[in-house]
Structure formats: structure tokens, C-alpha cells
Amino acid sequence: MEEATTSPGQTLAISRILRFNHRERLLVKPIHWSSRHLELLGCSFGKPAREPKVAAPVLFGPLGSGHLRDAFASMDWRLPYRCDALDELLSNDELYLYQHNLGFFFNDKHVETLRCRVLFSPDPQHGILAAYVDLDFIYELRAKSVGLPIYSPCCQIRKRLALLRLKKITPSVRLHDPYVVAILIAIAHENSVEQEANTSFFSQVVLSSRNKDRVFIYRAHITSSLLRSLDEPTFNPTDPLSIPIQVQTIRYKPYRSFRDRLHAQLYDGRDLSRSKELVKELQKRPCQSGPTG
């Protein structure tokens, strides 16, 4: 008989991994992924690194910094307001293309729409640059998925059962969230459509949380072999599944330079040059968008 368990480092097709672990609930949507999914995908998280001390190129200056200041000072950094602030600073409608949400595919089928803000590179050939999501927003999505009302009362027995289901799929380490990994994979999948010749695809996710000190950037190079393993579950990769993830932090203060510092870490040299051109064009217009602070 075949063994009923698998471990990281084995070169097995995903279909075999699922079969060997049939007693576990693995074939689920990403919102229900657990730490076990991260283990089987070979995910590893680096220690959060501080942002470089090198001065960031000035693109926006204080333009838009008032959004961040208001979210902290006036709104006490509550979920809707911090999401609005980061949305404004990341995806100015007049500068960059963006979209809401990403599709996650398995076995060449769409299985879930991942809720996030998707930011595209100023250079259309570069595809998706990054996605943005908040940890508390992910928690709310999970809670709703197991039938736990967030803002309305419900039967206590129903609530306890929902909380038990929620506990099973809530990561023990908040910053190692499977939903973030699913977004990284989804970015790589979408970019691979236009970059078929590549053997790996660079993905980034900006993650905010209740942390009032800093925002996090998750980065990973997703291999074409891993993407094929998800598209074709019977495909047997030559190397073990692996997703090394680097984590970087960007401090919010000083607010006036946060937007420039964040963009300097998200964009490469070519994108930064194009961004400078776009910002100059925007600043020539009669009315600038976004408050300053």
C-alpha cells in the first residue's frame, strides 16, 4: 500500500499528495487554506527585513500624505480607513492602471476570486506589479466563509460552531497567512500568460494590519513548474514544490515620504523612470489629486 502521508521535499504530483493525504481536508478554496497547505507547497518565510536606509527618489513628495495622517489621527487606524488610505497611495486613478481582485485557478479551472487591490506596472509589458490586502480584511473573509456574523448577533450555538471552524483555518502565525501566498501565486499565474518563456515569475503583496508602525511587503519568485503543478495536478515536477518568501517592512513615519519610500521598494528602475514622467504630467494639471499633510 502507498503511504498515507507526505512531507516537504518530496517530488510528487499534487494529485498524489492529495491522494496520500485523503484523510485531511486539502482540496479547498484558498480562503480555507491552513498551515498544512503552506507546508505541502514548501513555503518558507524570511525574517521581516527593514527598509534600506538609502534615500528614496522623490516622486510624489507630500502629495497624498494627508490620507495616511487622517487614517491615523482622525480615524484611529481602523480597518476601512487604513484600507482607503493605502488604496489612495498605491493606486492613484490618474497614474496607474488597477483592478479589483484576482482569480485563483486549480486544474485549469477558476476556483475562487481573491479579494484584493491589484496594481499594474506603468510599463504594460511588465503586467501586474503587486497586490494590496489587509490582515483584518482577510480575517473577515474567513469568518464569513464559515458562517460567523461579524457585525450582527446570532445564535450562541451557531456562533461557537463557526468559531471552531474558523480556528481550524486561522494561521497560528498571523504574518504567515495562506491567503497572502495564494495571492502571490495568482499574480504569477496571470503574469505567466504574457510571459510564457519565463521559468519563474516575480510576485509582490503589500500587507497592512493593526500594526501602526509599518506595512509589510511579501515577495516571491513562483516557478513555472509550480504553476504547472497547480494547472495540471497529475504533473510530476522534477524538483520539490518550494515557495521561499521574503518579507520587508516600510515604516509609515515620516508620512510625507512614505509614498515615495513604498514606491521605491515596489518599482524597479524602469518603472520608477516611467512613474516620474507620469507624476510630472499629473502635476502640470490645474488640480492635484489627494490631500497633503
Query: Three-state SS across 172-203?
Result: CCCCCCHHHHHHHHHHHHHHHCCCCCCCEEEE
Give CA–CA dist 197/185, Å, rounded. 17
Listed range (46-55, 131-140, 275-284) with the worst mean pLDDT = 275-284
SS3 content of the chain, % helix, strand, coil (to 5): 40, 20, 40
Q: How far apart are CA 117 and CA 198, in angstroms?
A: 25
What pTM, to 2 d.p., does this model score? 0.88
Query: What rounded mean pLDDT belongs to the chain?
Result: 86
Q: And the C-alpha cell for 215?
A: 506595512
Q: Where are the domains of the chain?
A: 14-279
What was the pLDDT predicted at 62?
Answer: 73
pLDDT at 293 over 50: no
Which residue type is seen at 44?
Answer: S
Q: Within 13 Å, how many C-alpha atoms sit on residue 133's CB side? A: 28
Q: What does the pLDDT look like over 189-222, one tens digit per residue?
A: 999 988 877 899 999 999 999 999 999 999 999 9
d(C-alpha 19, C-alpha 14), whole Å: 9
C-alpha cell at 104: 485563483
HSE (CB half, 13 Å, CA atoms) of 170? 18
Contacts of 99 (CB under 8 A, 6+ apart): 118, 120
Phi, psi (deg, nearest 5) at residue 291: -75, 160
Tens digit of each residue's pLDDT (9 = 90 or more) over 90-131: 876 555 667 889 999 999 999 999 999 999 877 667 789 999
CA distance 239 to 246: 20
Give residue for cell 506595512. 215
- Flag whether pLDDT at 232 surpasses 90: yes
Question: When comparing pLDDT for 285 and 107, which is higher?
Answer: 107
Question: Beta partners for 114?
Answer: 102
- Look at phi and psi of residue 101 and say left if phi exceeds 0, alpha if psi is from -120 to 50, else beta: left
Q: How far apart are CA 139 and CA 166, in angstroms?
A: 9
Between CA 240 and CA 8 the distance in angstroms is 7
Residue 70 has pLDDT above 80, yes or no: yes
CA distance 29 to 259: 34
What residues have CB less than 8 Å from 58, skipping those under 6 apart?
Answer: 260
Q: How confident is the model at residue 156 (pLDDT cuts 50, 70, 90)?
A: confident
Hey, what's the cell of 167?
Answer: 480556528
For residue 254, whether the previous peptide bond is cis, meaning omega lies within 30 degrees of 0, is: yes
Tell me the torsion sign for CA atoms 137, 140, 142, 144.
negative
What is the enclosing helix (H) or strand (E) of 169?
Answer: helix 156-169
Tell me how far apart the alpha carbons of residues 185 and 55 are, in angstroms, rounded to a whole number: 31
The pLDDT of residue 290 is 45
* SS3 assignment, position 78: coil
